[in-house]
């Protein structure tokens, strides 16, 4: 079975406070990026194995693909002996949900391959044990996420063209949340919401992340000043910063200019989101 696991963007991410269980209460609007996706191949084998190509990601028991398979085995009572090949296209530590999407793809595939018959709600409950973003990837289309992000409600988001830029370094999500409550805004950086197509683009994690990674603050400021850009925002806990563009044709030109003026090693991707 061949699978695709798309990335996501957080168009809105508000951190409302810390919960008694140690997690944070969130309100986030997430949209999938079907054009940017990891690829997985699964085939029956004598025992489970995972091969990862395209990124320095551990293929061990801590990988979300492996964890998803083990959790499915525990829930279904079935032994799942498959050879899995994961081709990483979505950068790690980028705030784009690549690992969570991989886990969701495996849960959905195993449910079909093993004939387990788990309903979507049951799969989402399993996914929530792996990560707050996993249930989102078990759905199709934009969603509001509340609670830890796992309480989902479908949303309508008008399509828009985006450019994603990411430096070589990643951001640790746990660290970003831990420093959220005591972080401060940097002077000259716009943190307030930006209106695009009736959606308020805002990310409360920019405050702790920008404080630690000044380049990401510089990247957002630079994008906001470019004539091709309607709005700029960090996705999730970073390190991807994205721009909503006036038109798709400007993406390549803008990416080239960013690499020339800011960092020649910037990774970039452009395409549509929403819809």
Residues designated catalytic: 8, 133
Which residue has 């949340």 as its token pair?
Answer: 177
**Cα–Cα distance measured from residue 134 to residue 64, given in angstroms and rounded to the nearest whole number:** 10
**Cα–Cα distance measured from residue 71 to residue 157, given in angstroms and rounded to the nearest whole number:** 33
**Cα–Cα distance measured from residue 188 to residue 186, given in angstroms and rounded to the nearest whole number:** 6
The DSSP line for 166-232 is E-S----HHHHHHTTTT--PPTT---S-EEETTEEEEETTHHHHHHH-HHHHHHHHHHHTSTTEEEE
Q: CB of 274 within 8 A of CB of 157?
A: yes
Closest CA to 168 of 265, 258, 261: 265
State residue 134 phi and psi, 5-degree precision: -60, -45
Output the CA angle 102-107-113, nearest 5 degrees: 120
DSSP state of 249: G
Closest CA to 7 of 207, 191, 270: 270
């Amino acid at each position: 079975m061949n699978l695709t696991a798309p990335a996501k963007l957080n168009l809105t991410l508000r951190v409302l406070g810390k919960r008694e269980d140690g997690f944070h209460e969130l309100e986030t609007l997430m949209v999938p990026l079907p054009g940017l996706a990891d690829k997985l191949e699964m085939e029956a084998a004598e025992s489970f194995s995972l091969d990862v190509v395209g990124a320095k990601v551990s293929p061990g028991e801590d990988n979300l693909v492996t964890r998803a398979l083990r959790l499915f085995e525990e829930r279904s009572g079935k032994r799942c002996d498959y050879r899995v090949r994961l081709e990483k296209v979505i950068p790690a530590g980028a705030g784009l949900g690549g690992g969570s999407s991989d886990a969701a793809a495996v849960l959905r595939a195993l449910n079909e391959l093993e004939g387990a018959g788990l309903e979507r709600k049951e799969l989402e409950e399993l996914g929530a044990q792996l990560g707050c973003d996993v249930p989102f990837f078990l759905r199709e289309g934009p969603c509001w996420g509340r609670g830890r992000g796992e309480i989902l409600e479908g949303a309508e988001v008008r399509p828009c063209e985006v450019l994603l830029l990411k430096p070589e370094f990643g951001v640790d999500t746990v660290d970003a949340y831990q420093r959220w409550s005591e972080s401060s805004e940097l002077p000259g950086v716009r943190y307030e919401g930006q209106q695009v197509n009736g959606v308020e683009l805002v990310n409360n994690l920019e405050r702790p992340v920008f404080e630690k990674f000044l380049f990401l603050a510089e990247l957002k400021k630079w994008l906001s000043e470019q004539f091709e850009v309607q709005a700029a925002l960090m996705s999730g806990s970073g390190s991807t910063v994205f721009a909503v563009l006036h038109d798709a044709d400007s993406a390549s030109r803008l990416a080239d200019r960013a690499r020339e003026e800011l960092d020649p090693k910037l990774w970039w991707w452009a395409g549509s989101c929403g819809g």
